[in-house]
């Protein structure tokens, strides 16, 4: 049942990206181009997403537990640290250079744009590299025997 819900949610997300034009890198890059052909439509898409998410979270957290799980899984980390800022900067730089983030990139595979077949493997290499770096022993953990 959970897999079916995941598939439906993914298809709905992908359809929303296509419908809003956010799977089109040119549209995203135009949003970031304040000095050229600025396109504010991405701000409206993000605003709509924030409204829907806010309503969804308010309704969900009125429940004692989720429909398809035993408990809510809320991240415990709340600190704005160096790793968060660096990751956000790398993500933002990639988004600004290419006009895609992971969701629209995966949706764009179906559109067959040649650049996607370079971007998606590079994105997956980046994800694998970040995972590898995160798991690598750091001097701090090694000195505390936390490896």
pLDDT tens sequence across 13-45: 889 888 888 888 888 888 888 888 899 988 998
> What proportions of the chain, in percent to the nearest 5, are helix, strand and coil?
65, 0, 35
**What value, to the nearest 5°, has the Cα angle with vertex 60 and ends 59 and 63?**
100
Q: Please give the model's pTM, rounded to 2 decimal places.
A: 0.68
pLDDT tens sequence across 74-123: 888 889 999 889 889 988 888 888 888 888 888 888 778 787 888 888 88
The DSSP output letter for 84 is H
Number of CB atoms found within 10 A of residue 94's CB: 18
């Amino acid at each position: 049942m959970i897999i079916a819900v995941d598939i439906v949610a993914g298809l709905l997300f992908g359809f929303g990206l296509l419908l809003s034009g956010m799977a089109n890198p040119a549209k995203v890059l135009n949003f970031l181009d304040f000095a050229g052909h600025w396109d504010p439509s991405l701000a409206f898409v993000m605003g709509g997403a924030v409204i829907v998410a806010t309503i969804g979270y308010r309704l969900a957290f009125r429940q004692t537990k989720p429909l398809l799980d035993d408990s809510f899984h809320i991240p415990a980390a709340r600190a704005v640290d160096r790793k968060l800022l660096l990751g956000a900067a790398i993500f933002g730089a990639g988004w600004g250079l290419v006009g895609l983030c992971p969701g629209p990139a995966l949706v764009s595979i179906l559109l067959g744009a040649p650049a996607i077949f370079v971007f998606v493997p590079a994105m997956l290499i980046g994800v694998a590299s970040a995972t590898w770096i995160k798991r690598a022993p750091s001097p701090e953990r090694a000195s505390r025997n936390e490896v």
